[in-house]
Homo-oligomer: A and B are copies of this chain.
Amino acid sequence: MTDTRTRAERLAGAIADAIVAGEWVPGDRLDEQALAERYGVSRTPVREALRQLGATGLIELRPRRGAAVALVTPEELDELFVATAEIEATCARLAALGMSPVDRRRLEALHDDMGALAAADDPVAYAEANTAFHGAIYAGARNAVLAEVALGLRRRLLPYRKAQFRAPGRPALSHREHGAVVDAIRCGDAAGAHAAMLHHVGLVERAVDALAGRAAPRRGAA
């Protein structure tokens, strides 16, 4: 069956995928004509796709100066991480309160499966399963709006956390932290789920900082 979406929509998806895949890195210029030729369309749908992506924050549109993959400052990156952590923690709390028994079992099963990937120290497979894990938390919160916001923020962070799981032993650490979240959700411990998720994403931030070769930014520190 044919795709009913417009070219602009498909382009937006394709360009976003390419950015997340690292084909362009933050700061790279997105030339309208080059994109048009690459995807075999005219500049018009390319421009519409770029506007759409600009509204999500994944790219930046500077009037008369073209589009570029969003280049966030260290301060903005910290805010992005904090915002993501808070929203994911909120999802975890809502999940602890309202997740169905069946969904809880599924989450536990997914977590158990990830244990094997962590033990095998398989970063690629673990990263993929990690996305599913966080997606299960979003779903457990039973709030599509929060999930959409969280996914949007996660996408904006992806260009900066690509290599995160490649550090040896990181999947295992991530898995232990997930365990705290899963335990709290299983017990219906809303505050515990919130705290565990906040702690987890906070650790991810510090890992990214370490990879970037910076000292971990501290909120309000001198």
Given contacts A48-B48, A56-B55, whether A220 and B79 have CB atoms under 8 Å apart is: no
Contact A63 B4 (CB under 8 A): yes
Contact A63 B145 (CB under 8 A): no
Interface residues on chain A, size class: 35 or more
Judged by a CB distance under 8 angstroms, whether A110 is at the interface is no
Contact A63 B98 (CB under 8 A): no
Kindly identify which residue among B4, B64, B76, B98 contacts A219, using a CB–CB cutoff of 8 Å.
Answer: B98
Q: Within the complex, what minimum Cβ distance (angstroms) separates A154 from chain B?
A: 12
Q: Within the complex, what minimum Cβ distance (angstroms) separates A210 from chain B?
A: 22
Residue of B nearest to A219 (CB): B98
Contact B98 A220 (CB under 8 A): yes
Contact A83 B51 (CB under 8 A): no
Judged by a CB distance under 8 angstroms, whether A131 is at the interface is no
Measured in the bound complex, the distance between the Cα atoms of B152 and A146 in whole Å is 12
For A76, the chain B residues whose CB sits under 8 A away are 144-145
